[in-house]
Structure 1
Amino acid sequence: MKELAGRLTALDPDAGAAVRVIAYFDRLAESRAGVEALVRGAAVLAGCPARLVDPERRVHVRVEADGTRRDAGPPPDPAWPSAPLSPGGAGVLRLERAGAGPGAVPAAPTGGETGPLGAAPSVVDAVILERAAAALRAVLDRTRGRAPADDPALVETLLDATAPEQARVHAARRLGLDPAAPARAVAPLNEQPRVISGLLPPGGLARAEAAPRLVHRSAADTGQRGDPARSGAADPAAERAGSRSGTGPPAERLGVGPAVPVLDLPRSWAEARTALRFTAEGTPQDPGPRVVYADELGGIALLADLVAPGSEPPADVRALETAAATTPWLPATLHAVASTASLRAAAAGINVHHSTLQDRLAHAEHLLGWSLRTPQGRLRLHLALTMRRLARP
C-alpha cells in the first residue's frame, strides 16, 4: 500500500493522500480501535478538530487537531464537512473546518502513530470522513448494539425486578444507558413504561421533550433548581408549573420515579406507578397535576397503600362525589382552595371574585358537612381530594 500511495502521489497528490488515509483507518479497524481513537485519527489526519455526535447512543466525542480530547467546542457550523454514520441516522462525524480548499499533501503516518498531516484538500476530507464514519459505525454497532432507542422488550427487562442482574445490565447497555449515571422510570397512563437518563432541563418535562431520544425520550444534561440528584422524565408534557396548576395541561398523565442507579430502576418503576395514581386529568371535573414526582410525595405516598383502586372510597370521598354530581363548579373550586396559600389566591386561580368564592365555600361546606376555612378543614379537604384520585379504578 505504501508503494501504491507513493506512485499515486507522483501522479496525483490527492489520490496518494486518499490511499494513505484508507490504509490508516484499515489498520485502526484491524486493531479494533475504539471510538475515541478513531475520532482522534480523523482530527489529526485532517489537521483540524473532529467531532462525533450520536444522540441516539449518547455518544459525544470531540478531539483537537493535536490529538487532545476536548468535548467542549463551538456550536456546529453547517459549513463544516460532515458524514452520517448511517443513512438517515442521527449520528454525525464532523471536521471543524469552515471551508475545504486545496492544501498541502499530507505525509503518510507510519507505525500506527498519528502525526499532524497539515491542511488537507477537500477530497481528502471526504475520504477521512467516509472511512472514519464506517469504522465508527462498526465499533458502535459492536459495542452499543443496534437496538432501537425505544425497544419495549429491553425497557421491560430493565424494569423487571425478577430479571437476572446480568440481563438488566445487558438491556441497559443496548439502550445506551450509562450505568454510572442516575436514571428515572416514567409511568404513563395506558402506555409503555419509559426510562430516561440525564438531568432535567429547567422547565422539566416539556423541555426534556425537545432533547434527543434515549429510551423513548432523553433529558438534557442540565440541572433543575440546582438539584444535582434530579434526573429527568420524558415525553409530551407541560411545564411543571402548568402541570401543577391545571393550566396548559400536558398531553398525558405521568408518574415519575426517583433518580436511582440503573440497576435499581425496578424500584423507581414501582414508585413511578404509585405516583401515577396521584395524577389527575387536569379538567374542571378532575382538577390536579398531570405529572407527579414520587420523590416529592413524602408521607402522602402512604395513602396509596390505604386506598386501593376501585375499592369503596372513604366517606369524605363519597361526600365529594355526591356534591360534585349536582354542583359542576365544585371540584375546581375545592382544588383551588386546597392547593393555594390563601382564599384570595384561590379566587384568582379560578377567575372569580373573592366574594363569589366565599359564597361557594358556604355552599360547599353545607354539602360536605365540614368547615373549609380552618387549617384542619383544608387538610381534610386536601386528603379527600387526594383519596378521590387514588380510589379510581
Structure 2
Amino acid sequence: MQGLMLKLLNVDAAGERALRVVAYFDQLAANNPDLDSVVRATALIADCIAGVELRDRGLVVRFSPEGVEPAGTSAQSERAALLVEGEDRGSAWLERSGDERELDEFIVERFALTVVAVLARERRVSEVDLPAGFSDPALAQLLVNDRVAEAERSRAARLLGLPGSGMIQLVALETGPDDRLGDLSAQLHERWNRAFYVAELSRHLALLIVVGSEPLTWDVRLSGRAASGPVVDILDAPRSWSIARETLRFAGAGAVWPRTLSSDDVGVLRLLGQIDRAAALAHPDVERVALLAAAPNGDEAVTILDHYLHSESLRSAARAANFHHSSVQSRITRIGTKLGIDLKSAAGRERAALALLLWRLCQNP
C-alpha cells in the first residue's frame, strides 16, 4: 500500500492520480480494515493528519502520517459527512496547514466512503436485540471500580462491547416493585434512540452505560427512580457512576425533586450527600423531623411541611397538598412547635428545609 502511494506521487496527470487514489482505497477496503486502520492509511496517503468523528459514539479518531495520535485540537481543512443508510453519523476530514493540495477533496471523499463501508459492516450497538444488550454485571462493576488499574477497566470496556475510546454517561436506575428491567430498557431505548448497555446489579438497581458525548435529557416517566452522572471518557467511568449514585439519593426526595435527575440538576447540594449519615441523623433538627414522620399521621405532616417550605404562598402550598389553606396554616403552626423552628421566618424555613432534605437523604443511603 505504501508502494502504491509512492507511485501516486510520481504520476503527473491529475486523472491518473485520482484513479490511483481510488485504487488505494479499494485495496484498503478489500482487507476489511477497522476504523483506526482507515484513518492511519488516509493520513499516510494525504501526508497530513486525518480524523473521523462518530457523534453517536462520542468517538474521535485522529492520526498523523507517522501513525501516531497527534496532540492538540483539530484544524480541519477538508471535511466530508459520513452518511450510513441516509443517517448522518459524523464526519471525516484532513488537517493540512497551508494551502490545500489538488486531490485533498477527492481523498476526503474516498476516505469517507471507506469509513462508511466499515460502519456498515459493523453491527451497530443500537441495533442489537434488546436481550443481547444486557451486559455481564461483573464486567460492568469492574468498569466503574475506581480501585482497579486502568488496564483492567479498558479490558472490561472491550469485553462489554464499548468502543476503544470515546465518551459515555453512567446512569443509576432503581426499578419500582412491579417494573421489569427489559421493559424499562425498551422504553428508554425508544425515547433516547441511543446505544446503551444494561447491567443488573441487584434486584432493584441497574447500571446503564450510555454511549455518546451528548448528555441525556430526562423526559421519561418512571415508577422507580433514575439519575445520570456526567459525560466522561470511558476510562473515567468510576467518576460518572459515583456521581450518578450520589444524585440518585435526591431523586424523588419530596415534593420538589423529580424521580429522574441529572447530576447537573443537583449541583452544590450533592455535597450534602457526603455528610456522615449517623452524624446527620444525630443532629437535633433532623431528629425532630424523624420524630414528626414517625408520629401518627406523620406522612401527612411531612408532606404538608414539604409543600409549605417550597411553595410561593400558603394558598399554593394548600393546593399542592390538597388541603384547605386554613387547615394548612394551623398544622404548620403545630409542626413548627414540634420542630422548635419559627417557620414564619425565612431563616427558619431554610433551616427546616435543610433538616427535611438531610432526613430524606438518610432514607436513601
TM-score for both structures, normalised by structure 1 = 0.50
CA distance in 2, matches of 1:166, 1:69: 34
Identify if the C-alpha distance between structure 1 residues 351 and 312 changes in structure 2 by more than 3 Å, giving closer, same or farther: closer
Identify if the C-alpha distance between structure 1 residues 57 and 387 changes in structure 2 by more than 3 Å, giving closer, same or farther: closer
Trace 1:47-66 onto structure 2 (pairs within 5 A).
Answer: none
Could you tell me how far 1:156 is from its partner in structure 2?
Answer: 1.7
Q: 1:105 matched to which residue of 2?
A: none
Q: 2:171 matched to which residue of 1?
A: 186
- Corresponding pairs, count: 250
Structure number with higher helix proportion: 2
Identify if the C-alpha distance between structure 1 residues 386 and 230 changes in structure 2 by more than 3 Å, giving closer, same or farther: farther
State the secondary structure of the residue aligned to 1:187. Answer: strand
Q: 2:157 matched to which residue of 1?
A: 172
Q: 2:19 matched to which residue of 1?
A: none
State the secondary structure of the residue aligned to 1:344. Answer: helix
Could you tell me how far 1:255 is from its partner in structure 2?
Answer: 3.4
Could you tell me how far 1:338 is from its partner in structure 2?
Answer: 2.5
Identify if the C-alpha distance between structure 1 residues 297 and 264 changes in structure 2 by more than 3 Å, giving closer, same or farther: same
CA distance in 1, matches of 2:345, 2:215: 37
- Alignment partner of 2:258 out of 289, 297, 313: 289
- The answer to whether the 8 Å contact 1:56/1:214 transfers is no
Write out per-residue CA displacement over residues 2-56 of structure 1, whole angstroms, 9 at most, x where no aligned residue: xxxxxxxxxxxxxxxxxxxxxxxx9877512457999xxxxxxxxxxxxxxxx99
Partner amino acid, structure 2, of 1:358:
Q
Check if 1:157 corresponds to 2:157: no
Could you tell me how far 1:275 is from its partner in structure 2?
Answer: 1.9
Could you tell me how far 1:75 is from its partner in structure 2?
Answer: 7.1
CA distance in 2, matches of 1:169, 1:313: 42
Write out per-residue CA displacement over residues 311-369 of structure 1, whole angstroms, 9 at most, x where no aligned residue: 74422222122223223421211121223343333233223343333222222222222
TM-score for both structures, normalised by structure 2 = 0.53
State the secondary structure of the residue aligned to 1:388. Answer: helix
CA distance in 2, matches of 1:149, 1:56: 16
- The answer to whether the 8 Å contact 2:230/2:263 transfers is yes
CA distance in 1, matches of 2:83, 2:276: 51
Structure number with higher strand proportion: 2
- The answer to whether the 8 Å contact 1:317/1:388 transfers is yes
Q: 2:196 matched to which residue of 1?
A: 214
Identify if the C-alpha distance between structure 1 residues 166 and 261 changes in structure 2 by more than 3 Å, giving closer, same or farther: same
Check if 1:390 corresponds to 2:361: yes
Sequence identity (%): 27
Q: Report the aligned-residue RMSD.
A: 4.7
Check if 1:351 corresponds to 2:322: yes
Identify if the C-alpha distance between structure 1 residues 302 and 156 changes in structure 2 by more than 3 Å, giving closer, same or farther: same
State the secondary structure of the residue aligned to 1:232. Answer: coil
State the secondary structure of the residue aligned to 1:260. Answer: strand
State the secondary structure of the residue aligned to 2:288. Answer: helix
Q: Which runs of 5+ in 2 are unaligned?
A: 1-25, 39-54, 60-78, 88-109, 111-116, 177-186, 199-207
CA distance in 2, matches of 1:289, 1:272: 15
Q: 1:104 matched to which residue of 2?
A: none
Identify if the C-alpha distance between structure 1 residues 321 and 275 changes in structure 2 by more than 3 Å, giving closer, same or farther: same
Q: Which runs of 5+ in 1 are unaligned?
A: 1-25, 39-54, 60-67, 77-113, 115-131, 192-204, 222-228, 239-249
Partner amino acid, structure 2, of 1:376:
A
Partner amino acid, structure 1, of 2:165:
P
Could you tell me how far 1:159 is from its partner in structure 2?
Answer: 0.9
Identify if the C-alpha distance between structure 1 residues 171 and 56 changes in structure 2 by more than 3 Å, giving closer, same or farther: farther
Identify if the C-alpha distance between structure 1 residues 277 and 361 changes in structure 2 by more than 3 Å, giving closer, same or farther: same
State the secondary structure of the residue aligned to 2:32. Answer: coil
State the secondary structure of the residue aligned to 1:348. Answer: helix
Check if 1:317 corresponds to 2:286: yes
Check if 1:332 corresponds to 2:299: no
CA distance in 2, matches of 1:390, 1:370: 20
Could you tell me how far 1:387 is from its partner in structure 2?
Answer: 1.0
